[in-house]
Structures are given as structure tokens and as C-alpha cells.
Amino acid sequence: MASSDDNTEFMIDMLRECGLAHKTIIFVLEEFDLFAQGKQRLLYSLLDAMQSLTSQAIVIGVSCRLDADQLLEKRVRSRFSHRKLIFLPSSVDSLQRLMEHLLMLPEDSHLPTKYVMEYNARVTSIFSDKKFKGILNSLTDSDATTSHILRFLFRVVSYMDMDSGLLSMQSFMNALSSMRRQPKMDSLQDLSILELYILVCMHRLEDKEHSSYNFTTIMKEYKSVQDAYRTSDNYSHTVCFRAFEHLLDRELISFADKKGKALEYRPVKLLISSHELAQSLKLNTTCPAVLQKLLDRERYM
Amino acid sequence: MSQTVTPRRTTRSSASALSSVPAAPKYRPKPSPRRQLLVTAAAGPKDYDSVGELLDALPCRRAQAMDLIRLLVPAPALPLMLYGGAATGKTRTLLLALTNLRPSQRLVYASLRSLPSPRALFASLLSQLGATSSSTFSRQRLPEKPSDFISALRNALTGIVSQGEVVYLVFDNLDVVRSWDKGDQLLTLLFRLHDLLQLPQVVLVYVSSATPDAYYSMTGSVEPNYVYFSDYTVDEARDILIRGHPNPKLYSSFLSVALKPLFRVTRRVDELSAVLEPLFNRYSEPLGDLKAVSDEGIKRRLFEHVQPHLAVALSETFSVPMRASMHEIKDSGSAGKGSAKRQLGGREGLSTELEFHMSMSAKYLLLSAFLSSRNPATLDAALFDSTGGSDNRKRKRKSSQASLDMKDTMAEEMLMKGPGTFPLERLLAIFQCITSVSEDKHEVECADNKEPESGMTDLMSDVLLQLSTLCNSNFLSKSRSCPLESSARYRSNIDEDLALKVARSVSFPLSKYMYRR
């Protein structure tokens, strides 16, 4: 493997040769902000090599970050021409035009003409529908990038009616709802009753202004709740610890320190908000009423 | 290309889509592969059968299987991510769907849990694609850096794709990559594969137990489509557990009493089936003939028979069946030095005895470690005087409010901090004290016993060996050594219940020595 000095020398020589032969070289650097990490030796040597008179080269950097040019070192920035082209995300109208363009079938396709006409007519009627405007607005409210729209269109087409081969407003609505999942709420709905108890106990400890708590303090709270309410859900230490580990796996709670003592003594914290917890208890049909009461009590106390 | 579209700024994706329209439209012909599927389906019922078979083989996963079919089967497909909890059937559903519905495809499967490093991942993928077929080059050509890997992968895939096959790259257990060294780089690389390869006939599928928000990154890669695998409800779990059972009627009556209480503890079907199996054996014990039709009276009798075992099963996480030799060992007493032989025993009820076998010196060592962790060092002089025991433990206690509050806060602190550390010398000192006491007691009790009592005093070398055994079995753990003294400090990991059991087995009055706040 050649050293970087050899490579730089080679590059300077090549640039000179190409310049003499009147050939222009274009360097395109994708993810330019990643090149600007560290010492920026590549950028410096590249831009420096272009300073010589005989070279005809241009460096184009492409990046997602708007401040990519601010990341450059002083010596590199002085060799930079400070020309920036900013690509803004498209407006809603242009997105709609893009969608029409992508979804319409061309007239000269190899599919039967009758089908093509029926399909295009259906798509046009959907686009002029007011509900569609609503769907497009809610899509672009969260993310107006083209890739998001393309994913949405992929889903729409996957919901195509298999018998007729036509799209319908229902496919658009299904696609929209499938794009809008809330993973944490879904996880909360999948918990067992004991795991919900542990979460509620942690929430109570946080409400009682405990700055840090671990599994043994949570167990103490759990036992006090069981003593107060005498529910049928009084389980042993090992079973509760297994439920605790399940919660850690699902990343609804996590440890607050890097690496420490035994699992039972390391401080933990909740990764869900109290609003999400309250909502999930409401949505859970099998949740015992005492859990709701425990959560609400804390609010009003 | 329609020129009636008003000029707008061309973003990357739209430029690629527009430019590829005449040649091989990438995002356009969603209708055509569907149309083809429809045509072939209309031609022969084979496709319908395989869908039906697939849904039969995947109980209670109908919605997810339909989602997968919908999103995966057309060949130029966007990447897909399946996520959900453990034991929800993600890998199984995916592999069944791919092998059943699209036999003319190549499946390249990499389970990241069984691969130790990025290099192993690269090697596994390339070998599955048949790229490293020539043995002479196999060692040198294994790519180390991601750039080499991408070019090797692209070469391998182009070769396969040009023959008209579709390749599915499946990355299973993606969440373990986050804990790897340089795992972030690998994750961004994997998510950018779709952009980097630019091969429409290659479909990427990711399977992960972590939710998608664990993978959001700063680089602009194509985000995959998500399919969520929820956990099973009680009814779905019951259906899954009954499937394939040789005795469905009896089992379903058993499940109707046993499943609901266990379901409140855990919803994972693998844990439930592990617990339910021995319980079912207990349930069907009174029945002579398993095939007999059970009426209400029999059902009630069986339920009463299994109920105590159910209560036990709810309070433990696993049970290992007892071995017959355990009885003999228990009868012969626990005297005698021996290596610390361990045997896990199942519990008929919540027993108060120690379930495994330890040598005497190990037990005493464990007790001394427990006491050293639990008691503050200042108490040692009071507790372990020259007679080796403490007679007057009654201390005058102030019961004012301030001292009670202080006790509460100190109890809280102890819960938070866990067991304390102690140096080796303190452990050995307490060990000496305790064993000298017990020796006196044993000499008094077994004076006429012919069996020679094992000499406790000359155990020094063995004690250190026992200590290392206890450390390896995680009864003790080694802490950071104090920087001033540079001696090793240890910490005991056992809780009070186990210590009491051990003390009871050697008749040691542990409660007299424990410091109670």
C-alpha cells in the first residue's frame, strides 16, 4: 500500500498531465461532511493540488448537512470557492406533480389500452379528491422529502386491489396509516400485567422525587403496593426480575450508568413519558383497574 | 419522458426515476409485476395454494404474512424492516414467505447474532453468493474494509442478477450490531446498501428486535418500509400452543385454567411453553387414560390437583427435574470435604433447605463473606470477641423521630448501594472466628462420633482455592481494589434468604451476627 505522500504526488502529477492534455477532471465527494471529520488531510491535499496553474479540475462536494462548509478547517476553507447550491425540499404542489407523474401509466405501454385508460382515469379522480389533499398535507407535515413520498407510493401500490388492478382511495388511506406507527406505544401494548406493574412502580418513584432508583427500590415499592391493595398479582423476586429484564430488552427502561455493579443495584430510568404510560393503560383492555388508580393517584396527590 | 411537466429542481431520486423511465423503469411498473402475478395466478391455482399453505403454517400471523407478501414479492422492492419483540415469529415468517412464494430466488441469510465481527459478516455473505469459489484466493480476498466489501458484493451480485434471478439479502438480529465495536459504521453501511448497490433485483430485508427509532442516523439513506410483529394475545397463544399437540381436548381444558394466570406474568410463548409442559404432566397424572372424554366433574378434580403446582410455577422462573441421587446425598448428611459439587433441584414446594451441595468450608466462607458485606467493619470487634460469639447484642436504642428518619434514609441508601466491599484479610479473620466457634460446638456434640472431624484450623491453602471457586460461581465478586491499600476487595452477591439457608444447614446462628438497622 502506498503512503499518502506517494499518493498525493501521483495525484499532482496526474493533474498536471491531464491539464496539459486539456482534459478536465471532476472530483465528486459524496457525504462531504464525513470527509470533513478528523484532520481533513485528503481535502487539504486535494484542494492544494488544484492550486497549480496547469491543472484543470473541480471538486464538488455533496452533503446532507447545510453547514458542511462551516466544518472545514481554516486552511482548507481558504482554498474553497464558497459556492454553494442548496437543494430545498420540494413544495407540496411539486410533490403532487411528482406523484402524478410516477403513478400514471404511459399511453404507449405494453398493457391493454382499456386497462390503461381506466387506471389513469381512476388515478386522476383520486388526485382531485379533497381527501387526497388531506392525506398529502399530513404526509408532508411530518416529512416532505422525496424518499418519504416514494415510500408512501410504494405502499399505495402494494395495497392495489388484486382483482381489478386499480388503485382506490382506500389504498391511499391504508398506506397512510401503515406509515404512521408509533413503535413505543405498540411495545407498551404488548406488555404483560406484571411488566406494567413494574412500570407503574417506577413512575411512582419518579413522582416521589427519587433522583435515582434501582431494582431493589422498585421491589420495595411493589411490595408496599401489594400490601396496600392486596391484589392477586403478588409475585416473587425472581419472577419480577425476569419481567424487569424483559423491559430492558424492549428498551422501555434502561440503565442510567455505564457499567457497574450487579444488575439489581444499578440505577435505571424510564424511557417513556408519563403521558404514554397513561395512554397505554387506557388502551389496554386486560389491565387491572388498580393500575389505573395507582397512576391517577400520583397525578392528583 | 413527458415534457409537459414544468421544470422544477431535480432531486436525486426524481432524476434517477425520470432518467430510467425509457430503459428500465425503477419505480414505475408496480402494476406490471402485479399484473404478471395476477396472470399467472389466473392461469394456474398453484400460487393461491402456496399462499394458503403459508398462512396455515404461520398461525395468528395472517396480517403480517399478507404485509410481507405485499411488500416483498415484486422484485424492485424498497428495503424492508421487520421489528417486534422476542419470540414473535419474525424470522420464521420471513423465511417461510420467501421460500414458499418465490422459489426462483436466491436467499442470502446472515444472522448477526452468530457472527462475531464485520469481517465475518462480509465473509459469510460473499461465500453464500459463491464469490469465493476459488480456494487459492480465499484467504487474501476476504475483504477487511467496507469499500472492498462493497465492490466484491457488487461484482458477485451483478453476476447473479444478470442471469435473471432475484436476490434477497436478509440481515437478522440487527440490534446486536449496536453493541459491536464500530457498530455504528456498520449499521450506516448496511442501511445504505440499497443506494450503494443500485441493483433493482436485489432486495434487502432487516430483522430486528429493537424498534426503528434505534436506527435513525444522520446520513440520508433510504428508509426501509416497516412491518411490526406484535406479541400474541391470550387466544392466539392458546391456538399456537394447542397446534400439533397429540391430545388437543385435554390440553385445551388444561390451558383454559392454566394459561390466563401465567399470561399475566409473561407473554412470551417460548417461556410459557417451557412452564406449561411439566404442569400438563401433573395435570394429566390422575387420569389413567389420556384419551378419555372429560366431563365437568373430572375437570374440576384435575384442576384441584394441579392448582398447588400452578401456584408454585407462578413464583419461579424455571424448574429442573430432581435427580434420584439427590435423596441419598441428603440422607447421608452434609459432612465431609469435597469439591463444591452443585446439583440444581426442583422444588415440590417452597423449600427452606439448600438445594445444592457445598463443602463445609465453602459454606463457612460464604457466610463470612455475607457478614463482611453486610456489617460495617466497626462492629467486628464487638461481634467477634475472643470467645468467638457475641452474647450481649442488646443495645439501647433511641427511638426519637430524628433517629428513625435517619434510619429510614440509611435503609434507602443501603438498598441503592447494594452490598459493601471488604478486603481479604477481614474475610479470613471472620472466617477464622466463625470456624473456631463451630469447632468447639462440634467437639461438644460429636464427642463420641467415630468419624474424624475435618480439621478446620489447617485449611488455609484450601480456603483460597474455595474463594476462587466462589468467585467463579458468582457468589462473590471482585471489586476494584482500593488505590491506597492495593489489596483486593470482594463483595458478596447472595441475598439474605440464601445465607439463612446455608446457615441453617450448618446450624450456625446467623441472625445473631447480622447487623440490623
pLDDT tens profile B50-59? 677 777 777 7
Torsion of CA B293, B296, B299, B305, to 10 degrees: -140
Q: Which residues in A lie closer than 8 A to residue B14 (C-beta atoms)?
A: 98, 146
Mean pLDDT of chain B: 73
Give the whole-number percent of chain B exceeding pLDDT 70: 69
Distance from CA of A63 to the nearest CA of B (A): 9
CB B408, CB B401: distance < 8 Å: no
Q: What CA–CA distances, in Å, run from B437 to B381, B390, B461, B481?
A: 15, 11, 20, 30
Q: According to the per-residue pLDDT averaged within each range, which of A113-117, B145-149, B170-174 is highest?
A: B170-174
- CA max distance for chain B: 112
Give the whole-number percent of chain A exceeding pLDDT 90: 7
DSSP state letter for A134: H
pLDDT above 60 for B159: yes
Residue in chain B closest to A93 (alpha carbons) equals: B8
Q: What is the pLDDT of residue B55?
A: 78
Q: Please tell me which residue, B405 or B333, carries the higher pLDDT value.
A: B405
CB A256, CB A267: distance < 8 Å: yes
Distance from CA of B388 to the nearest CA of A (A): 32
> Confidence band (pLDDT; 50, 70, 90) for B336?
very low
pLDDT above 50 for B19: no
Q: Hey, which residues does A27 pair with through a beta bridge?
A: A59
| Residue among B38, B71, B477 whose CB faces A165 most closely | B38
**Which of B491, B458, B452, B454 has the alpha carbon at shortest distance from B475?**
B491
For the ranges A89-98, A157-166, B212-221, the lowest mean pLDDT is seen at: B212-221
CB B356, CB B326: distance < 8 Å: no
Could you tell me how many CB contacts below 8 A there are between chain A and chain B? Answer: 149
pLDDT above 80 for B361: yes
Partner-chain contact B17 A250, CB within 8 Å: no
Q: Angle, to 10 degrees, between the axis of helix A146-158 and the axis of helix B12-19?
A: 50
Residue in chain A closest to B411 (alpha carbons) equals: A217
- Write out the H or E segment, with its range, that includes residue B512: helix B510-513
Q: According to the per-residue pLDDT averaged within each range, which of A214-223, B93-102, B471-480 is highest?
A: A214-223
Q: What CA–CA distances, in Å, run from B239 to B58, B149, B150, B232?
A: 11, 45, 45, 10
Q: What is the pLDDT of residue B45?
A: 31
Q: Which amino acid is at B291?
A: K
Q: What is the pLDDT of residue A195?
A: 92
Q: Which residues in A lie closer than 8 A to residue B316 (C-beta atoms)?
A: 236, 238-239
The torsion angles phi and psi of B473, rounded to 5 degrees, stand at: -85, 5
Helices (H), B129-192: 146-161, 183-191
Distance from CA of A134 to the nearest CA of B (A): 22
pTM over 0.95: no
Q: Which residues in B lie closer than 8 A to residue A250 (C-beta atoms)?
A: 85
Q: Which residues in B lie closer than 8 A to residue A90 (C-beta atoms)?
A: 8-9, 11
Q: What is the pLDDT of residue B36?
A: 34
Q: What is the pLDDT of residue B206?
A: 92
pLDDT above 60 for A281: yes
Partner A, chain B 476-495, Cβ-Cβ below 8 Å = 477, 491, 493, 495
- Residue A209: left (phi > 0), alpha (psi -120 to 50), or beta? left
| Residue among B223, B230, B495 whose CB faces A190 most closely | B230
B231 touches chain A (CB under 8 A): yes
Q: What is the pLDDT of residue B334?
A: 38
Mean pLDDT of all residues in B118-146: 71
Mean pLDDT of all residues in B337-351: 35
Q: Please tell me which residue, B442 or B381, carries the higher pLDDT value.
A: B381
pLDDT digits over A17-76, tens only?
Answer: 888 888 888 989 888 888 888 888 888 888 888 877 777 888 898 888 888 888 888 888
Mean pLDDT of all residues in B214-222: 75
pLDDT above 50 for B332: no
pLDDT above 50 for B324: no
Q: Which residues in A lie closer than 8 A to residue B8 (C-beta atoms)?
A: 90, 94, 97
For the ranges B39-43, B105-109, B202-206, B419-423, the lowest mean pLDDT is seen at: B39-43
Mean pLDDT of all residues in B347-354: 51
Interatomic CA distance for residues B282 and B319, integer angstroms: 14
The rounded radius of gyration (Å) of the Cα atoms in chain A is 30
Q: Which residues in A lie closer than 8 A to residue B11 (C-beta atoms)?
A: 87, 90, 146
CB B470, CB B366: distance < 8 Å: yes
Q: What is the pLDDT of residue B135?
A: 44
Distance from CA of B19 to the nearest CA of A (A): 12
Interatomic CA distance for residues A193 and B260, integer angstroms: 11
> Could you count the other beta carbons within 10 Å of the beta carbon of residue A44?
16
Partner-chain contact A236 B316, CB within 8 Å: yes
Q: What CA–CA distances, in Å, run from A144 to A63, A93, B221?
A: 18, 11, 15
Partner-chain contact B31 A261, CB within 8 Å: no
Mean pLDDT of all residues in A9-14: 84
**Which of A195, A203, A201 has the alpha carbon at shortest distance from A245?**
A195
Q: What is the pLDDT of residue B252?
A: 87
Mean pLDDT of all residues in B128-157: 72
Q: Which residues in B lie closer than 8 A to residue A158 (C-beta atoms)?
A: 30, 70-71, 74
Interatomic CA distance for residues B378 and B501, integer angstroms: 26
CB B204, CB B80: distance < 8 Å: yes
Q: What is the pLDDT of residue A196?
A: 92
Q: Please tell me which residue, A295 or A188, carries the higher pLDDT value.
A: A188
pLDDT above 60 for A91: yes
Q: What is the pLDDT of residue B497?
A: 80
Task: Report the complex ipTM.
Answer: 0.84
DSSP secondary structure letters along B418-476: -SPEEEHHHHHHHHHHHHHHHHHHHHHHTTT--SPPP-STT-HHHHHHHHHHHHHTTSE
pLDDT digits over B242-292, tens only?
Answer: 887 888 888 888 888 888 888 888 888 888 888 888 888 888 877 766 666
CB B84, CB B208: distance < 8 Å: no
pLDDT above 60 for B13: no
Partner-chain contact B210 A189, CB within 8 Å: no
Interatomic CA distance for residues A217 and A215, integer angstroms: 5
**Which of B67, B75, B60, B48 has the alpha carbon at shortest distance from A163?**
B48
pLDDT digits over A75-84, tens only?
Answer: 888 888 888 8
B334 Cβ neighbours under 8 A, 6+ residues apart = B357, B360, B505, B506
**CA atoms within 13 A of residue B252's CA, in its CB half-sphere:** 11
The torsion angles phi and psi of A254, rounded to 5 degrees, stand at: -155, 165
Mean pLDDT of all residues in B296-320: 77
pLDDT above 80 for B41: no
pLDDT above 60 for B197: yes
Distance from CA of B418 to the nearest CA of A (A): 6
Torsion of CA B235, B239, B240, B242, to 10 degrees: 130
Mean pLDDT of all residues in A171-187: 87
Distance from CA of B262 to the nearest CA of A (A): 10
Mean pLDDT of all residues in B175-182: 87
